[in-house]
A and B are shown apart, each in its own frame.
Chain A
Amino acid sequence: METDNRPVSFLRSRKLIRVIAFLLVLVLLLAGSSALIRPKGYEAYDIETVDIKLQQMSSEKDGSIDVIFAGDSELLYAFSPLQLWGEYGMTSYIISSGGQKICDTYEILTQVFLHHSPKAVVLDGNSFYRDGSIYLEEDDKLLETAERIFPVFHYHTRYKTLPLPGVLMSFTNHRKNQELYKGWLDVRRIEPYTGPADYMGAPDTPKEPIPEASVEYLDRILALCREHDCALFIEDVPSSANWSYARHNAVEEWANAHGVDYLDLNLLNGEIGIDWSTDTRDRGDHLNFYGSLKLSDYMGRLLQEKYALADHRGDAFYGNWQADFERAGLYGTTADLTTEKVYARAADTSDADVAGPEAGKEDGDGV
């Protein structure tokens, strides 16, 4: 029989079965890898961040954390758990990262509550305004669909949570010390904010609505806290670049409607003593070490009073906290942490790294 050498469409060829078989194998592998890579018991928009946070926290003894701070990069530089320990003997942890969405905050909290019974969760309002849903891909709806069908497309960055040798870890500067500092980041850079002091605008500015997806997660966080007998406390870290009455009013409305305490620290800049010429690392966007000294002092006192937090200094169960406090060497001894001395320390900016022409350098707001 003469073989026909004309090219044949793959649809009419016997080899079509191979195409179908290959696609089936591909689908199976996508499904299988998705099942393997998905986290068990929680989800995440940015799994790398969430898993690193959980990894960092896992070195704390179960049941040892009194207060959880959660939000985005605003919080990351603002409250120092080691200072709170040194000054008040309270234990806290920061589960924030740059650009963290509230859906990830919720997911992290679900896992945190499995190991700890904090008295309060302190949530920063700025993170409410980042549209938060797990699979959201604003620029690529088809990719979003692919991620929902085969979560391997969504969770593939999880490979970045595997352990790496030290020298390679040093490429990710912001992870250095973060575990020691209990989630806080130490930034000595000063880039003053020189704009108007009343950046908040007029008190009767119409509300800027909180995105729907974020409200959903707020409700879930509240329910989670209530379920675990934990108070929810909303605050806003002073930030001339991010906060305003428009947002304040919206958050206050939600807080009042749900019986949740809300304190906008932006309205207490004077009382706290925020000095915009020294306390910000990037022209009012985020605070720095000097701002954090003041804010931690203020917030620690407030939280200890409000939630009757015990002073754990001297308690053997919290031995690692004193050890970590001393190892970090940031604050001297606990005797150096009186309010007076803290503010004096904040005024001494001789060890600051004043921003030079390399303005693009960032100390990583990330994990």
Chain B
Amino acid sequence: MGYNAIGYLAVFLPAVILIYSLVPQKKRWIVVLAANYLFFYLLSGFLLLYNVAATLFTYYMGKLLGAKKPEGADKKAFKKKKNKILLAAILVNFGVLIVLKYTNFFGSSIAGIINHFGGDVRYRAIRFLVPIGISYYTMQAVSYLIDVNRGTLKVENNLAQLALYLSYFPTIMEGSITRYKDVAEDIYAGHPVTYENLTAGYQRIVWGLFKKVIIADILVKPVIKIFEGFQYDGAVCLYGAAICTLQLYMDFAGTIDIVIGTGKIFNVTIAENFRQPFFAKNASEFWRRWHITLGTWFKDYIFYPISVAKPIRNLTKKAQKRFGKGFAKFVTPSIALLGVWMANGFWHGPRWTYIFYGVYYYVMILLELLLERPLEIVSEKLHFSIDGIPFRIFRFVKLFFIVIIGEMLFTADTLTEGFRMLHSIFTNFSLRSLWANKSFFGMSGYEYIVVFFAVLVVLIYNTMREFRIPFEEKFAKLPEAVRWCGWLLLLFAVIMFGAYGPGYDAVAMIYAGF
């Protein structure tokens, strides 16, 4: 059952809302916790115990890390001891994740290397059962522990509140990756489901369905057909790169809309995960607008600690002495970004395509960083403004291609196939071939029309958001009947044009493999 399933939207969620609202406020957290565990169980069965174990472990470690320094104890030694405990806690939490998801990857990769050098070993994959959301709740658990250790978060003595946070059903499958201080209290508080929040929440859900069930789910088949059958046809590959990006964006952002809408119903503010990413100036900014909560997690827990670490600061000082400030200022970001992007690639999963994805963006972002000053100089010398329209168009086109090529390599089954497609874009590009093959992509003329108009609607709305045009405000001023018609129209568009039922295979939610 995914968030777009009728089971969730019309049965599970309304049932939770109803029972929650009938129960007195003080007891509502029990309903939510039960809902969390039921949801988890429906998706992963008894693997729920992994989540419960992680909760208990994190709770216990949290108490250790939040302990006050005993009187007379040495401050530095105490801090060192806590850091050791934190390290152990992080290793255990991530350890479970790594063993379950990455063992086979490491095993087969090592076997591959041995065989490359003349060995003859075979790695037999172990069939691990992986609980849903493990990548998400592990990140959340670790963020909690680090914040408690840093002193920026008060340790949680209420086990229930921590359990609620680590198993929260709206965010367990695909994120957003929330921070304890942002949501934990509200989840536990059992705020009443007001009319305003109920309607606003379900409106956000319908908007998410519009993006996912219409645009994303229609595009699943053409993406598969192109990536499997047209790797040598350059124009088709480029087209495939563009639509796989659109597919992923609408799938993920649409699902997050459903997630945030669900939270909204219960007055829980789940962090936004997308902010019109294609309006970004460069790749760096793109990643502050795409999968935002993953980026901020890496920024706070990898980039920042690396940046302020003593060895790194010393290295920068040494570089400054030898090579001057102009060079030295790149030392810290180069190393910190490497950490971030290796983690990003790795987090996406046990595949070389994902790891390469991390390297790819590391290179792109580092290049942008290094070329920032030279670009300023060039723009002055050649007298063009980097804020002018022509340059902004150039910047958008550059970003567009960086992103879609990245997503193409990410989506390909293997790195070899991905590079094959990339190669064919440069060596076998023929628009005529793309047009001649258009009927083999598994998308009828009707679906092209539907996707075109749906994307147009999303584009218009996103543009309004980017330029801060207050659509919601203006819409709220319209008469009620008009507003009802608007929402019913949107909902019926999903029902009529959605990619479900006969003719459409079950579409697995992409980011729920994590």
Contact = CB atoms under 8 A, between A and B. Distances in A.
Nearest to A101: B502
Interface string B158-193: 000000000000000000000000000000000111
B445 A16 contact: no
A46 B503 contact: yes
A202 interface: no
A111 interface: no
Interface string A285-298: 00000000000000
Interface in B212-230: 225, 228-230
Interface in B470-514: 484, 488, 491-492, 495-498, 500-503, 506
Nearest to B498: A156
B419 to A, nearest CB: 15
Contacts of A357: 231-232
Given A7-B267, A8-B194, A358 B232 contact: yes
Contacts of B228: 360
Contacts of B438: 170-171
B479 to A, nearest CB: 14
A172 B438 CA distance: 8
B439 interface: yes
A358 B233 contact: yes
Given A154-B501, A358-B230, A142 B7 contact: yes
A319 interface: no
A48 B503 contact: yes
Contacts of B498: 156
B192 A137 contact: no
A308 interface: no
A143 B231 CA distance: 36
Interface in A338-360: 357-360
Given A157-B502, A174-B439, A142 B5 contact: yes
B444 interface: yes
A19 B195 contact: yes
Interface string A141-185: 011001100001110110110101001111111100000000000
Contacts of B502: 45-48, 154, 157
A16 B17 CA distance: 14
A358 B433 CA distance: 12
Given A10-B194, A142-B5, A29 B492 contact: yes
Interface in A311-367: 357-364
Interface string B1-38: 00001110011000000000110000000000000000
Contact of A160 (B193, B195, B199, B446): B446
A187 to B, nearest CB: 13
A153 B501 contact: yes
B330 interface: no
A173 B192 CA distance: 54
B6 A142 contact: yes
B382 interface: no
Given A140-B7, A154-B501, A170-B438, A164 B445 contact: yes
Interface string B423-454: 00000000000000111100111111100000
A45 B503 CA distance: 9
Contact of A170 (B7, B439, B488, B506): B439
Contacts of A137: 501
B501 A143 contact: yes
In this complex, which of A45, A146, A169, A360 has the most chain B Cβ atoms within 10 angstroms of its Cβ?
A360
A360 B501 contact: no
B198 interface: yes
B232 A26 contact: no
Contacts of A153: 495, 500-501
Interface residues of B, number: 46
A13 B230 contact: no
A251 B484 CA distance: 55
A166 to B, nearest CB: 9
Contact of B496 (A22, A159, A167): A159
Interface in A8-35: 8-11, 13, 15-16, 18-19, 22, 25-26, 29-30, 33
Given A13-B195, A143-B501, A171-B443, A33 B492 contact: yes
A6 B5 CA distance: 34
B445 A172 contact: yes
A11 B22 contact: yes
B505 to A, nearest CB: 9
A56 B448 CA distance: 23
Contacts of A147: 501
B501 A156 contact: yes
Given A10-B21, A46-B502, A143-B5, A168 B232 contact: no
A4 interface: no
Contacts of B199: 19
A26 B488 CA distance: 8
Contact of A11 (B21, B232, B447, B506): B21
A198 interface: no
A152 B498 CA distance: 12
Contacts of B198: 10, 19
A147 B6 CA distance: 11
B439 A172 contact: yes
Nearest to A26: B488
Contacts of A271: none
Contacts of B497: 156, 159
Contacts of A361: 229-230, 437, 440
Contacts of B229: 358-361
A9 B225 contact: no
A7 B491 CA distance: 28
A13 to B, nearest CB: 5
Interface string B112-136: 0000000000000000000000000
A2 interface: no
Contact of A29 (B233, B488, B500): B488
A139 interface: yes
B195 A159 contact: no
Nearest to B20: A9
Given A10-B194, A11-B21, A146-B10, A156 B5 contact: no
Contacts of A139: 506
Contacts of B446: 159-160, 162, 164, 168
A8 B22 CA distance: 12
Contacts of A363: 440
Of A154, A157, A168, A362, which is in contact with the most chain B CB atoms at under 10 Å from its CB? A157
Interface string A112-150: 000000000000000000000000010110110011000
Nearest to B25: A9
Contacts of B491: 26
B496 A172 contact: no
Interface of A: 7-11, 13, 15-16, 18-19, 22, 25-26, 29-30, 33, 45-48, 137, 139-140, 142-143, 146-147, 152-154, 156-157, 159-160, 162, 164, 167-174, 357-364
Given A9-B194, A142-B5, A157-B502, 11 more contacts: A9-B193, A11-B21, A13-B194, A140-B7, A143-B500, A156-B498, A159-B496, A168-B445, A360-B440, A361-B437, A362-B440
9 contacts: A7-B192, A13-B195, A19-B195, A46-B502, A153-B500, A164-B446, A171-B438, A174-B439, A360-B229
Interface of B: 5-7, 10-11, 21-22, 191-195, 198-199, 225, 228-233, 267, 437-440, 443-449, 484, 488, 491-492, 495-498, 500-503, 506
The 9 A-B residue pairs with the shortest CB-CB distance, nearest first, are A360-B229, A173-B439, A168-B445, A9-B192, A15-B195, A171-B445, A10-B195, A142-B7, A172-B444
